[in-house]
Amino acid sequence: MTDLVVLIWFTMNIMDPTKIYGPDISERTFQNHDECALFVNYIAKKPIVNDKYEFAFGTPDGTLFRGGCYNAEEYEKIFRNKGNPA
């Protein structure tokens, strides 16, 4: 059985960078990291996901997104043990 991947992201706005929202977790699960990366790149309308399956990008209204595609083991390592990566 393969380990499913979820999309996790944080948002903030350049008008008030002290307010960081998240982490938000996608309701959708992905079969692998590549499927998740394709989804994120599609939403962003450009390739933004790096080789660690993480991303950061902004929108014209000043909203900044930062996040990644993680399986359960990666989630535990990053968010439960080390805290917020943002």
Please report, for the chain, the start and end positions of each structural domain, with discontinuous segments joined by +: 5-81
The predicted-structure confidence for 65-86, as pLDDT tens digits, reads as follows 999 999 989 988 888 765 554 4
The confidence score (pLDDT) of residue 65 equals 93
Cβ-based neighbours of 67, under 8 Å, separated by 6 or more = 7, 8, 9, 10, 22, 23, 40, 54, 55
- Looking at residues 42-62, what average pLDDT do you find? 93
CB 49 within 8 A of CB 69: yes
**Whether pTM exceeds 0.85:** no
What is the arithmetic mean of pLDDT over 50-59? 94
pLDDT of residue 20 exceeding 80, the answer is yes
* Strand, coil or helix: 50: coil
Grouping H, G, I as helix, E, B as strand and the rest as coil, residue 65 is strand
